[in-house]
Copies of this chain bind each other. A is one copy, B any other.
Amino acid sequence: MTSDKAEKKVKLVAAGSVAYDDLATPKGVREKSLGGSAVYFSTVASFFAPVGMVGVAGNDFEESDRDFLRSRKINLDGLALDKNGPTFRWKGEYGANFGDATTHSTCLNVFENFDPVLTEEYKNADFLFLANIHPALQIQIIKSVKNPKIIGLDTMNFWIDSEPDALREAISMTDILFVNRQEALQLSGEKTFAKSVETLLKMGAPRIVIKLGELGAMTATADSRFFVPAFPSKNLTDPTGAGDSFGGGFMGNLARTGDISEANIRRSMLYGSVMGSLTVEGFSIDVYKTLSPEKIEQRFEEIKKMISI
């Protein structure tokens, strides 16, 4: 297993789904496309800091996909291989506006019995991101880490509906809650964006990040607000993973710098926006097969100009 070891000590751990997606977008179709929240997040974060990935793949997991993750120096000690079935599979379709996907099928497969295991190295990581998985598993992971500087948590409409109590408990144990605009309204029970921000800030996470899709993202604490626009990608191809990529850029920059000041949180919002905009320019994680770090910095400067006065 030495070949699965990253070269440097893991600073950031991400737990989430590993998936194969069958996609149709206005730009084409793609079958068995590598996806899942842990994959998107870790791939993106690997451009910033040593990242360890917690997830489960099935008996159909391609060696070439594992090779890609290795090539990004992602620590795969937390990636379980379950030979009892295939990898989590999602089939979906995006309409002409690239908006919310229509789900055709969701097969949990080995993800149904996912039991996340963290190595000692992972437990000592300073930054933890809990992508969209069952809140009970999120809590289990939070309890197993030792003394993280920042715990980020993402979730989705399904858990907001089906596991409200566990989700509330998980949120209360985290530092940053990541949701999109719809989830913000649903989770808060409010009708307006402004009210949802107020209500979410009372749920126990001292900071919230609301992803606004093609309009960007905002973050709020009790006494600060910050907005970042989305970069206007001219080659929108596949929106899958944009939100997890935002998280990967955001948490990746925190882990790279170790700096959790308000100023660096704001820079991290820009990196989140940068990475979200890059991911959607190709299918799956294709963009990251050839991406140069210079392009990230270049786009960071472009977005910075969009809010400079």
**Which residues of A pack against B, CB within 8 Å?**
95-98, 191-194, 197-198, 212, 214-216, 218, 224-227, 229-230, 232-234, 236, 263, 266-267, 270, 304-309
Contacts and interface: CB of A to CB of B under 8 A. Distances in A.
Given A191-B98, A304-B309, A229 B234 contact: no
B307 A234 contact: no
Contacts of A194: 214, 230, 232-234, 236
A230 B192 CA distance: 13
Given A97-B191, A266-B309, A218 B229 contact: yes
- One complex includes copies of this chain to the number of 2
Contacts of A309: 226, 263, 266-267, 270, 304, 307
A196 B284 CA distance: 25
A198 B232 CA distance: 10
Contacts of A233: 194
A225 to B, nearest CB: 5
A166 to B, nearest CB: 28
Contact of A214 (B192, B270, B308): B192
A224 B224 CA distance: 27
A198 B226 CA distance: 26
Contacts of A212: 215
Contacts of A226: 306-309
Contacts of A191: 95-98
Nearest to A226: B306
A227 B225 contact: no
A112 to B, nearest CB: 35
A308 B229 CA distance: 13
A99 to B, nearest CB: 8
A215 B236 contact: no
A234 B192 CA distance: 11
The 8 A-B pairs with the shortest beta carbon distances in the complex, nearest first, are A227-B229, A97-B191, A307-B307, A96-B191, A194-B232, A266-B309, A193-B214, A225-B306
A16 to B, nearest CB: 27
Nearest to A215: B215
Contacts of A308: 226, 266
16 contacts: A98-B192, A192-B214, A192-B236, A193-B214, A194-B232, A194-B234, A197-B232, A198-B234, A212-B215, A216-B227, A218-B229, A225-B229, A225-B306, A227-B307, A266-B308, A266-B309
A281 to B, nearest CB: 12
A230 B227 CA distance: 9
A308 to B, nearest CB: 8
Contacts of A266: 308-309
A146 to B, nearest CB: 32
